[in-house]
Amino acid sequence: MEFEEKVKQLLEAHYKEAEVEVDFAYGAVKLNGYVISPDFEGKEILERQKEIYGYLKREIGAEAKRISIIFTYTPREFALMNAA
């Protein structure tokens, strides 16, 4: 299984109602992407990041170093960010 597919499946399993996109955009060496989830409601950005990276590190160990950044949004934040 490709690394990005593994990370995507782990995040989708952990955040049940999430939209998850991860890839090695533009030939990047490290994985990046985003997770949109109602589970982030009421959580500060730093708390979200610690949660995601802590979870992934427990699940994939040292391979977590292959991840650059995974942005975290609530559905409302993502909608506001993409409003015309």
pLDDT tens-place string over residues 18-70: 999 999 988 889 999 999 999 999 999 999 999 999 999 999 999 999 999 99
Q: Which CATH code fits 3-81?
A: 3.30.300.90
Domains in the chain: boundaries: 3-81
Instruction: State pTM to two decimals.
Output: 0.91
In sequence order, which residues have a C-beta less than 8 Å from that of residue 53 and are 6 or more positions away? 64, 67, 70
